[in-house]
Amino acid sequence: MWQASQDQHENELLSGTSRQAWQLELQRQKQDIQKTQRSARDKVAALTLRMAELQARLLRLDALGERLTTIAKLDKGEFDFSRTPAVGGPESNTIGDAYQAPSFIGAIDQLSAQIEDREQQLETLDALLAKQKIEDDIFLAGRPVTKGWMSSRFGRRTDPFNGKIAWHNGVDFAGKHGSDVVSVAAGVITWSSNRSGYGQLVEVNHGASFSTRYAHNSAINVKVGDVVKKGQVIAAMGTSGRSTGPHVHFEVFKNGRAVDPASYIHRTHR
C-alpha cells in the first residue's frame, strides 16, 4: 500500500517535471521562430529595397539608351532597350532536375541580367558614338571663313595680275581684314609660315589622304604639329603674298591632287 502511494507520488513529480521541461522547450522554440521571422522580414525588406533600386537603375539605363540611339540616329533594331535580352541554343542532355529558385530571388536575377544586357549595349553604343564623333570631326565640310563671300571659283579664270587665262587651284573667299579663318575639319598642322605666292599659309593634314590649305593670312594662330579641331580659328584673313585684297585662298587636296573645294564646302554632315 505504501509502495503504491510512493510510486504515484514519483510519477506525479516526473509528470510535473516533464511538463515544465516541455513548456520551457516550447517557449525556447517559440522565441527561435520569432527571431527567424524577424530575420526573414528584415531580409525580405532588404531584398525589396534592392529590387526597387535595380528597377530604377534599369529604367534610367533604358531612358539613356533610347535617347542616345535617337540622337545618334542609329538603327533601333540594333539597340533595343525595351525588350528582354534574347537567349537560346540547341537542346542538350539534361544533367539534373531544374532548380526552382524562389520567385522573388528569380525576379532579382532577371533584373540583374537585364541591367547587364543594357550596360553591354551602352558600352557598344558609346564606342560607336566615339567613332562617329571622330569621323564627323575629320569629315571635310563647310566654309573656311565665318564671314565673307566666294569671290573666285576653282578652275580656269583670268589671272587678276596679267589678264591671261590661268588655272586656279582653289577658291577665294573675300571678306574683312583680320576676320576668322577656320579649319573645315580636325587635323594636324603641317605648314605654318610664309610660302611663295601663298603669303602666310596654313596647311592641315586631315588623314584619309585629305589636306587643306588656307593662304594670304595676315596672322597665323597655330604652329606645325598642333592638333586642331573642326571649326577652330587657325588664322586671320589678310592679303599677304600674291593678293589683290583681303581674302582666303582655300585649297583641298585628295591623294596629293588638288580637287574642287566647292563639293566639300556645300557638303552636308552625315
Summarize pLDDT for 230-263 with one digit per residue, the tens.
Answer: 999 999 999 999 999 999 999 999 999 999 998 8
pTM of the predicted model as reported, rounded to 2 decimal places: 0.55
- The residue among 173, 171, 182 whose CA lies nearest residue 230 is 182
Strongest mean pLDDT among 20-29, 83-92, 96-105, 145-154: 145-154
CA atoms within 13 A on the CB side of 268: 1
What tens digit of pLDDT does each residue of 188-203 get?
999 999 999 999 999 9
- Which CATH number is correct for 149-265, 2.70.70.10, 2.40.110.10, 2.40.160.10, 1.20.1250.20? 2.70.70.10
Q: How many CB atoms are closer than 10 A to CB 175?
A: 19
Indicate the domain borders of the chain: 2-82+106-137, 149-265
Contact 235, 217 (CB under 8 A): yes
Report the range out of 23-32, 119-128, 212-221 with the highest average pLDDT: 212-221
Tell me if 50 sits within 8 A of 108, measured CB to CB.
yes
